Amino acid sequence: MPLRLFDTHTHFDVPDFDPDREHLASQAKVAGVEALVLIGFVASRFPDLLKTQQVINHLSEAPQAYLAPGLHPFYIQQHRVEHLQQLESLLQQRDCIAIGEIGLDTFLAEHKQPELFAKQQDYFQQQLELALHYQKPVLLHIRKAHAETLALLKKQKFQFGGIAHAFSGGVEEAKAFIKMGFKIGITGQITNPNAKKLHRVVQEIGAEHLVLETDCPDMTPLCCQVSTQQRTRNTPANLPYVLHGLAQCLQTDEKRLAEQLWQNTQQCLRL
């Protein structure tokens, strides 16, 4: 039986893919990618998410494309109250698989400023309330804010789980998210031998708590990078390389691992 892979985190709607999106979607299908999630980050791109889903789902040979709109914490200065209203309208009018990507991000010094971080927390909390109301899992973006993210999830008594995307925390943080019903999203970073912290997390928690993602056009697997000077565009067709890196890290059979990851994804996205 051929591999069935699910790319749980893509930005396949962004302009990087405008020249050859349909061709790349077909390539992904040939590579075993049966489904992918189109992730939101700013309200101005919601129409592009919808258009991209429509284009992909009308192709004869392409992964099934699912929607997960949301307001990304990194772009907090762009977000307005009406954008939350637009998000809720999408949830009411469209079949959205989840809300994402949402969360907290203090990677930049400016995002640590009390006013901006408070706004991040407010928008995260309001999107969690939407997820609770519409009974949707959430796709989390967390950078240098794992404790604060967990605290807000607990405060909201969030019970629909989801995915901690491109996980960068430690073992105990991973276990805390798993306890709250989340899977841990693994990107092409797993192919980097220097990503020792990630390797430890994966080996400690095991395959039953993991899902795959490309986070394309970013997070390109090491073996797919053609230049050390500039970014090599990542695509959904590279997902098998993430699987391969993960299988090596776990010292397990790729086919068996792929089936486990498929089941994990079906479970956490309630398919």
Which tens digits make up the pLDDT trace of 89-105? 999 999 999 999 999 99
- 24: tokens are 């790349």
Question: What is the pLDDT, as a whole number, of residue 1?
Answer: 58
**How far apart (Å, rounded) are the C-alpha atoms in residues 221 and 199?**
15
Q: What is the dihedral of CA 233, 236, 241, 245, to 10 degrees?
A: 100
- Edge to edge, the sheet with strand 138-143 lists 99-105, 138-143, 162-164, 182-186, 210-212
CA distance 32 to 59: 16
- Alpha carbon distance, N-terminus to C-terminus of the chain: 21
Domain that includes residue 32, residue range: 5-268
- What's the domain count of the chain? 1
Q: What is the CATH number of the domain that holds 112?
A: 3.20.20.140
Return per-residue pLDDT of the chain as tens, 271 residues. Answer: 579 999 999 999 999 999 999 999 999 999 999 999 999 999 999 999 999 999 999 999 999 999 999 999 999 999 999 999 999 999 999 999 999 999 999 988 888 899 999 999 999 999 999 999 999 999 999 999 999 999 999 999 999 999 999 999 999 999 999 999 999 999 999 999 999 999 999 999 999 999 999 999 999 999 899 877 788 999 999 999 999 999 999 999 999 999 999 999 999 999 9
- pLDDT tens by residue, 219-264: 999 989 987 778 899 999 999 999 999 999 999 999 999 999 999 9
Beta-bridge partner residues of 33: 5
Q: What is the DSSP string of 78-91?
A: G--HHHHHHHHHHH
Any residues with CB less than 8 A from the CB of 78 and at least 6 apart, and which?
42, 44
